[in-house]
Chain A
Amino acid sequence: MSTTAELLKGAAELFPDEVVTQAHVRHFDLPLGAGRFALITLDNGHDHTKPTTFGPQSLANLNAAVDQVEKEAADGGIVGVGITGKPFIFAVGADLKGVELLKEWDHAYAIGKGGHDVFKRLSGLAVPTFAYYNGAAMGGGVEVGLHCTYRTVSASVPAFSLPEVFLGLVPGWGGCTLLPNLIGPEKAVSVIIENSLNQNKQLKGKQVYELGIADAIFEGADFLEQSLIWTASVLKGEIVVERPVIDRGEAWDQAVAKGRFIADSKVHGAAPAAYRALDIIAAARNGDLQEGYDAEDRALADLIMGGELRAGIYAFNLVQKRGKRPAGAPDKSLARPVTKVGVVGAGLMASQLALLFLRRLEVPVVLTDIDQERVDKGVGYVHAEIDKLLGKGRINQDKANRLKALVTGVLDKAEGFADADFIIEAVFEEMGVKQTVFAEVEAVAPAHAILATNTSSLSVSEMASKLKHPERVVGFHFFNPVAVLPLLEIVRGEQTDDASLATAFAVAKKLKKTAVLTKDAPAFVVNRILTRFMGEIQNVIDEGTPVAVAEKAVEPLGLPMSPLVLLELVGPAIGLHVSETLNKAFPDRFKVSPNLKAVVEAGKRGFYVYDSGKPELDPEVAALLKQGDVVLTEEQVRARVLDAVAQEIGLMLDEGVVAEAQDIDLCLITGAGWPFHLGGITPYLDREGVSERVNGKRFLAQGVASVPA
């Protein structure tokens, strides 16, 4: 038994539940009389809904297949070796479940080295090797092909990426080293860093070819046949593959520098993966592959044993799994059909909601408002947005006609809502107004209709309290911009019944939103945490810490934007309103900042001016600020803010606002864009010891979003 086989056998014992990929070897004669060929098919025995992955046993199987073809190649029995995947899937990389189980650096290192040891054999055979990217290829799937002499790609490949940095790893089975040496550092940085950090952007087959990752591209209908005919031509010398010469001069450093700039702008130095990847890409300039592989092994082991990756995998699973099966949602069989939607209000938010319902549900949507002008404006907005989609080619003329015909506006609620199944209000954020609106709607709507409110901070139960049928009221809280942020907080009022809630979840699913069930608690989840977080920043500023210090204090978290830039995006007036609501509910923890109030009263839309191209404190705002004399350091500010957030989340979980800390994290990821490397926030609070310090316990058990004990 070779050492690689031993290494993998040991790793396989740690991971008994691996979905094992087989590496089938099949022989046949190539066309054009090019000779006998061995083709390896990677196949885990499931259909395309369970993509092929590489765990340790899978790698061992590939290793055994390479043993076989290596001998055949050496004996002259074959003229070439190919590798491809099952239908629709090439291979999607390392099995993350196996990565989660790793507890020791040595084991993590072994996985990295094991992959390298197997893959790199494909470049050392006595005959040329060919990878045929027939379907989805990610991570280790892409990398196994990079070790081959040649590659072809199907024009039908829907997803191709090195997503490791997105999760918190580096492409560590050769990706960081081989890709820049194949296509040059600039394109490699784009694939490894930029795409990963751009919400894990995927390449299509055509781009894979254009980037030079594949030497040839063929259409999906007879991809493998044409790849094999091409292979025969290459082997016979009839086709000579030419690749561009890589510039190993200054361009290399520039590409790496650009990668660092991209990483800084996305994670602000807060997550190590991108930087580790860039270090390896930088070193790959000398073309020493083994040195690169060794660096990849070390980086993989370090990152696998680090908190950012564990948080990243946790976050990925939250979004992919929990986000699709919301905790606490009633049985979906209780949901009632929604064949018509009513929207109360025709303002911007209402119009955006109308557009969303229209596009996703494709049922009649009727807008109402207090005068014809507003109604016309709302419908006009929706029509204009449909035309924009048409103009961009996102929908065709037939679809545009259909959607436009489905949206109408009326003044008379009785006319509009008499046959609506789901009516959502987006009127002025004041309890009395909303109660009146719901009373009017109830008088004309069918008895089964759901009444939903898009309130961001008012009590859903109170809103429902004066109705005859309060059981059909639910909170349906979207996040701005509605078309971009996936989160939808679904609020269960005290009297909301299961059927109404089930209907709300069913609608959320059709809207393609990530629904999270929350209790009818002040400001629900995201706004409560963000307001506490912002409030603490505001507090330290009010007490005397300079704005710049307060802002910088939370930079190490790598949030998508600084607190005051976020405030500007939300709007200081709305921020103030939410803080007032929460102050009413929890006066000891939520203060209303006099400085913020002054800024709002002065009609300022933010703290910064951007005249120089960078945010600078608006002198007019600076003049308004009345600060105390307590000046804290960045560390002190950070501790205060994180303590406040940990305390608030602890209290929310005690109150039962959501089922588990996982829901808090899912909300922060999908509603506030908080990064994967924080795992939302609770994995970070746990790993930094904040949870223990504030609440005396972790939010998540060791191993859930961290290295297992």
Chain B
Amino acid sequence: MPRTVRDVVFVDGVRTPFGKAGPKGIYHETRADDLVVKAIRELLRRNPGLDPKKIDEVAIAATTQIGDQGLTIGRTAGILAGLPQSVPGYSIDRMCAGALTAVTTVAGSVAFGAYDIAIAGGVEHMGRHPMGEGVDPNPRFVSEKLVDESALFMGMTAENLHDRYPQITKLRADEYAVRSQEKAAKAYANGKIQADLVPVSVRRTNAEAGETGWGLVTADEPMRPGTTLENLQGLKTPFRVHGRVTAGNAAGLNDGATASLIASEDFARENGLPVKMRLVSYAFAGVEPEVMGYGPIPATEKALAQAGLSISDIGLFEINEAFAVQVLAFLDHYGIADDDERVNQYGGAIAFGHPLASSGVRLMTQLARQFEEQPHVRYGLTTMCVGFGMGATVIWENPNFEGDK
């Protein structure tokens, strides 16, 4: 049977505000699956033209798939969100690139013709599920020196990346971090972020964490507007004595969830749904696990090659800021200035936070909004590094593109 690959589009994306993991965090008494449920319901509310019965899949990523992130969360969250029972769901895991992989996986299925429209998103409640919870690495990794011992500790891999690129100094990383906070604060002031957030009601019973009772979260908790270089320079380097990586030039430990609608372009247009971005290509690549932050570079190379594009064709970048050094390594590779205004216009994970498997859709939601505002841009990319030595890149086309003027 002859088949035609179908164009795939990003219809819409939303997220919960991100919280700080830990006993004083806003989501400390909120379940991870409930965060996903709020995001899915908001997505449906924002797109009333979509008949929920037509949703073909719910793919939800989580890195630690146990407890309230287990039980095939794509299926259970769908039921909890009130989707028809006929809508199936599954779970997905590629650590930090979980939601991104949920998007590309359902996108592949849409292109193939298996789905018309699907929900793809992710969640990570790092307060309820700290990094490394329940892991059991095979002892061969170490005994046979398959990976360096530092490969399992992301902060150490970031220090390793600094070693590889001595020109990326702590000062550059800190300066980058200060700019991320400034850009995020500005984006908030201009209302660029709030429009894609779903408010989440949160309960607090621990008076040490603040006022008790029910509250409402409408903004990201990790933000530190007004951060200065001086603030950052005094911070400890927890991963290495006299190191370079600090809590200030890296994303924190966070809680949050995202969800997006991915559809065939024809389906979206027939059902009157928005088309915010058109998928061009996507690629994943592996690198040495101990320098996992390098991953976005080969992944982007692959994605560009597939699309027949070069880096100069890319007008907007959304790079996940797990660590400033990893963004800077990417920018150096492509000869892009640290403060290039095409890069992370609204700031990044250093300001908003990085609840691992949820972050990919945040990058897309922000890129989509930038596309809308900047019709002169034709292509953008979302990219992120992934634990155990991987990178993930998706290249998108701006449907609002007005041609070269």
Q: A43: CB under 8 A from chain B?
A: yes
Q: Which residue of B lies closest to A41 (CB)?
A: B213
Q: Is the CB of A31 within 8 A of B199?
A: yes
Which of B199, B211, B212 neighbours the largest number of chain A CB atoms within 10 Å of its CB?
B199
Q: Is the CB of A225 within 8 A of B200?
A: yes
Q: Is the CB of A221 within 8 A of B216?
A: no
Q: Is the CB of A24 within 8 A of B41?
A: no
Query: Given contacts A221-B80, A225-B198, are A31 and B218 in contact (CB under 8 A)?
Result: yes
Give the shortest distance, in Å, between B131 (CB) and chain A (any CB). 29
Q: A30: CB under 8 A from chain B?
A: yes
Q: Is the CB of B213 within 8 A of A40?
A: yes
Q: How far is the CA of A219 from the CA of B217 in the complex (A)?
A: 19
Q: Is the CB of A222 within 8 A of B213?
A: no
A24, A30, A222: the one contacting B211 at CB < 8 Å is: A24
Q: Which residue of A lies closest to B34 (CB)?
A: A221
Query: Given contacts A222-B37, A222-B38, are A39 and B213 in contact (CB under 8 A)?
Result: yes
Q: Is the CB of A228 within 8 A of B82?
A: no
Q: Is the CB of B201 within 8 A of A225?
A: yes
> Which residues of chain B are within 8 angstroms of A225 by Cβ–Cβ distance?
38, 198-201, 216
B200, B201, B212: the one contacting A24 at CB < 8 Å is: B212
Query: Given contacts A28-B218, A41-B212, are A228 and B199 in contact (CB under 8 A)?
Result: yes
Q: Interface size class for chain B?
A: 20 to 34
Query: Given contacts A24-B213, A40-B213, A224-B201, are A29 and B218 in contact (CB under 8 A)?
Result: yes
Q: B87: CB under 8 A from chain A?
A: no
> Which residues of chain A are within 8 angstroms of B81 by Cβ–Cβ distance?
221
Q: Which residue of B lies closest to A37 (CB)?
A: B216
Q: How far is the CA of A39 from the CA of B198 in the complex (A)?
A: 19
Q: A229: CB under 8 A from chain B?
A: yes
Query: Given contacts A221-B80, A222-B201, are A84 and B216 in contact (CB under 8 A)?
Result: no
> Which residues of chain B are within 8 angstroms of A28 by Cβ–Cβ distance?
215-218
Q: How far is the CA of A196 from the CA of B204 in the complex (A)?
A: 36
Q: Is the CB of A221 within 8 A of B82?
A: yes
> Which residues of chain A are within 8 angstroms of B213 by Cβ–Cβ distance?
24-26, 39-41, 43
Question: Could you tell me which residues of chain B, from 201 to 221, have a CB within 8 Å of some CB in chain A?
Answer: 201, 203-205, 211-218
> Which residues of chain B are within 8 angstroms of A29 by Cβ–Cβ distance?
216, 218
Produce 1/0 per residue, B212-237, CB < 8 A to A.
Answer: 11111110000000000000000000
Question: Could you tell me which residues of chain A, from 11 to 33, have a CB within 8 Å of some CB in chain B?
Answer: 22, 24-31
Q: Is the CB of B212 within 8 A of A26?
A: yes
> Which residues of chain B are within 8 angstroms of A656 by Cβ–Cβ distance?
none
Q: Which residue of A lies closest to B194 (CB)?
A: A31
B37, B198, B211, B216: the one contacting A224 at CB < 8 Å is: B216
Q: Is the CB of B37 within 8 A of A27?
A: no
> Which residues of chain A are within 8 angstroms of B212 by Cβ–Cβ distance?
22, 24, 26, 41
Question: Could you tell me which residues of chain A, from 548 to 596, have a CB within 8 Å of some CB in chain B?
Answer: none
Give the shortest distance, in Å, between A410 (CB) and chain B (any CB). 40
Q: Is the CB of B203 within 8 A of A87?
A: yes
Q: Interface size class for chain A?
A: 20 to 34
Produce 1/0 per residue, B315-354, CB < 8 A to A.
Answer: 0000000000000000000000000000000000000000
CB < 8 Å A-B pair total:
64
Q: How far is the CA of A219 from the CA of B199 in the complex (A)?
A: 15
> Which residues of chain B are within 8 angstroms of A40 by Cβ–Cβ distance?
213
Produce 1/0 per residue, A273-297, CB < 8 A to B.
Answer: 0000000000000000000000000
Q: How far is the CA of A86 from the CA of B213 in the complex (A)?
A: 8
Which of B41, B212, B213, B217 neighbours the largest number of chain A CB atoms within 10 Å of its CB?
B213
> Which residues of chain B are within 8 angstroms of A25 by Cβ–Cβ distance?
211, 213
B38, B41, B203, B216: the one contacting A228 at CB < 8 Å is: B216
Which of B38, B199, B204, B214 neighbours the largest number of chain A CB atoms within 10 Å of its CB?
B214
Q: How far is the CA of A597 from the CA of B39 in the complex (A)?
A: 75
> Which residues of chain B are within 8 angstroms of A39 by Cβ–Cβ distance?
213-216
Q: How far is the CA of A225 from the CA of B214 in the complex (A)?
A: 10
> Which residues of chain A are within 8 angstroms of B37 by Cβ–Cβ distance?
221-222
Q: How far is the CA of A87 from the CA of B30 in the complex (A)?
A: 12
> Which residues of chain B are within 8 angstroms of A229 by Cβ–Cβ distance?
199
Give the shortest distance, in Å, between A32 (CB) and chain B (any CB). 10
Q: How far is the CA of A29 from the CA of B38 in the complex (A)?
A: 19
Produce 1/0 per residue, B23-40, CB < 8 A to A.
Answer: 000000000000001100
Give the shortest distance, in Å, between A273 (CB) and chain B (any CB). 34
A30, A41, A86, A221: the one contacting B41 at CB < 8 Å is: A221
Produce 1/0 per residue, A312-348, CB < 8 A to B.
Answer: 0000000000000000000000000000000000000
> Which residues of chain B are within 8 angstroms of A45 by Cβ–Cβ distance?
205
> Which residues of chain A are within 8 angstroms of B203 by Cβ–Cβ distance?
41, 86-87
Question: Could you tell me which residues of chain A, from 40 to 87, have a CB within 8 Å of some CB in chain B?
Answer: 40-41, 43, 45, 84, 86-87
Q: Which residue of B lies closest to A224 (CB)?
A: B201
Q: How far is the CA of A37 from the CA of B199 in the complex (A)?
A: 14
Give the shortest distance, in Å, between B11 (CB) and chain A (any CB). 21
Q: Is the CB of A26 within 8 A of B201?
A: no
> Which residues of chain B are within 8 angstroms of A30 by Cβ–Cβ distance?
216
> Which residues of chain B are within 8 angstroms of A37 by Cβ–Cβ distance?
216
Give the shortest distance, in Å, between A81 (CB) and chain B (any CB). 12
> Which residues of chain A are within 8 angstroms of B201 by Cβ–Cβ distance?
222, 224-225, 228
Give the shortest distance, in Å, between B58 (CB) and chain A (any CB). 15
Q: How far is the CA of A203 from the CA of B38 in the complex (A)?
A: 27
Q: Is the CB of A26 within 8 A of B38?
A: no
Give the shortest distance, in Å, between B213 (CB) and chain A (any CB). 3
> Which residues of chain A are within 8 angstroms of B38 by Cβ–Cβ distance?
221-222, 225
Q: How far is the CA of A294 from the CA of B214 in the complex (A)?
A: 34
Q: How far is the CA of A99 from the CA of B199 in the complex (A)?
A: 41
Give the shortest distance, in Å, between B85 (CB) and chain A (any CB). 13
Produce 1/0 per residue, A245-284, CB < 8 A to B.
Answer: 0000000000000000000000000000000000000000
Q: Which residue of B lies closest to A30 (CB)?
A: B216
Q: How far is the CA of A22 from the CA of B204 in the complex (A)?
A: 13
Q: Is the CB of A222 within 8 A of B214?
A: no
> Which residues of chain B are within 8 angstroms of A222 by Cβ–Cβ distance?
37-38, 41, 201
Q: How far is the CA of A273 from the CA of B17 in the complex (A)?
A: 51
Q: Could you list 8 A-B pairs, sorted by A, with CB under 8 Å? A: A22-B212, A24-B213, A25-B213, A39-B213, A39-B214, A39-B216, A43-B205, A224-B214
The 4 closest A-B pairs by CB, nearest first: A24-B213, A41-B213, A224-B201, A26-B211
| B interface, CB within 8 angstroms of A | 37-38, 41, 80-82, 198-201, 203-205, 211-218
What 9 new A-B contacts, CB under 8 Å, besides A26-B212, A30-B216, A45-B205? Answer: A26-B215, A28-B215, A86-B203, A221-B80, A221-B82, A222-B38, A224-B201, A225-B199, A228-B201
